[in-house]
Structure formats: C-alpha cells, structure tokens
Amino acid sequence: MTAAKALLSVQALNVRYGPALALQNVSLELNRGDVVAVLGSNGAGKSTLARTISGLVPAAGGTVAFEGKDITRRAAHRVRRDGIVYLPEGRGIFPALTVTENIRMAADLLPRGQRRHAMDEAMEVFPNLAIRRGVKSGLLSGGEQQMLSLSRGLITGPKLIIADEMSLGLAPKLVDMVFDALGRLKAAGVTMIIIEQFVHRALKFADQCVVLSRGQVAWQGAPEGADQEILARYLGEGADVTGD
C-alpha cells in the first residue's frame, strides 16, 4: 500500500502529555473501505491515537495525512468537515434532548436543503431509534444510546469513522446490537477504526489489527495472525481474549 493511495496515513506519530510520551513512532495506513481494530490494554494510547487523528490532541512529531493532504496541525472542527468523525468513549450525545433533537443538532452541520432527507435516512438505518424518536436520549438503553451516537456521526456522510470503545459497559445483548450496526456500516463500505475491549469480536470484524503497548505499535497485521500469545502478551489481564 502506498501513502498516496491510502485514505489515512499516520507516520511516525509522537504525542506528549507534558513530559510523558503517550505515543511513540506510531504508523498506520487505511484504504477506503478498510476496518482497522486498534487494541491494547488500559493506558496503551488508543484514545490518544484517535484524538490526535481527529485534531483534538496535538502531535509532537510525525504526520497524519488524509486523502493525501497533511492534516497534522488541522483544528478538530476542520478535520470533522474533511470527513473524519470521532465517536468518543461516553457517546457524546445530549441526554436531556430527545432522539430527534439529538439527530437534528447533528444534521445542522449540513446545508439546509439536505437536513430533512439526512434525518429520515438516519432513522431508517436504525429502526429502533425511529420507534424511540420522542424519548429523551438519557432514558435510552446503553445500546440505543450507541445507535444514536453512530447515527449522529453518520448523518454528514463521513469518509472515516473512529469509534472509541462503543461496547464499553454494555450488556452482551447490547454489544451484539452495536456490532450488528457496525457490520451494516462495514457492508455499506464505510471506512472505520474501531477501538475495542472485546478483542475477539473486533478481530472477527476487522481487516487489519494494530496492537498498542505503552504508546508503541507492538504488533500489526491481519487478524488471523493475532494469536493467543500475542493477545495475552500485549493485552494483559482483564482483556477479553477468550471469546465473546
């Protein structure tokens, strides 16, 4: 894969929080339609990678290129406009607002003439949300809140979605629901980086896998190559490496 062809190309990225180096020499490339799983134990640097690509944390070194353009120092709102949507841990929805109001706020980023159609489409992708459209989103189940977060992210037709621990804290049935939704996006050709604690599900789902350990890429390759030994060595205790 050449850098010119890649949708996203991260090269030798370094990120510091004060004196601490949170990412060191991290590189990864994604083509259109790829799904990459970023795995690693707590504090490995997964969210930092997502936040740096999204323009929320500055890089101390290295580059991030999107569609061949250097976006390393681009502000988060411009990165969003370029087509990279970051779905943070914690969902980023407004609990006091209804489902419709949450989706409408996201649709406001679109030109006026496109908003109605985009909102209808967002409801069609997740029929559960349509049923719950008048409900305050804080009252939705965790899985439904994740659907809402995804649907808000999708409404502007992003070129890349970065989903940070979407299944965190969800009951197994709701994790299924989240992976079903991600599966539909994958089938529709959406390019994704998924950060996941459910390692086996993420590996089944992804085309490529990046394992971070202490801010560095410890292993990278096709999911079939990520055997138990690698997972146990880098994901440590507490990681779901035994199955789903």
Interacting span for ligand ATP (CB under 6 A) from 1-9, 39-47, 118-126, 146-154: 39-47
According to CB under 6 A, which one of 28, 36, 39, 46 is a site residue for ligand ATP?
46
3 token code pair: 């850098």
Looking at 2-10, 44-52, 92-100, 150-158, which segment touches ligand ATP (CB under 6 A)? 44-52
In angstroms, give the least distance from the CB of 42 to ligand ATP: 4
Q: Reduced to 3 states, what is the DSSP secondary structure of residue 221?
A: strand
Which residue spans within the chain are E strands per DSSP?
8-17, 20-30, 35-39, 61-66, 69-70, 84-87, 160-164, 191-195, 208-213, 216-221
What are the phi and psi torsion angles at 127 (to 5°)? Answer: -55, -30
Among 1, 3, 17, 131, binds ligand ATP (CB under 6 A): 17
Cβ distance to ligand ATP smaller for residue 40 or 62: 40
Residue 43 vs 172, nearer CB to ligand ATP: 43
Pick 17 or 139: Cβ nearer ligand ATP: 17
Question: Quick one: which H or E segment has residue 115?
Answer: helix 112-125
90 makes contact with ligand ATP (CB under 6 A): no
**Closer to ligand ATP at the Cβ: 103 or 212?**
212
Q: How far apart are CA 42 and CA 10, in angstroms?
A: 22
**Is 239 a binder of ligand ATP (CB under 6 A)?**
no
Q: How many residues does the chain have?
A: 244
Q: Tokens 């943070």 map to which residue?
A: 88
Residues in contact with ligand ATP by the rule CB under 6 A: 17, 22, 40, 42-48
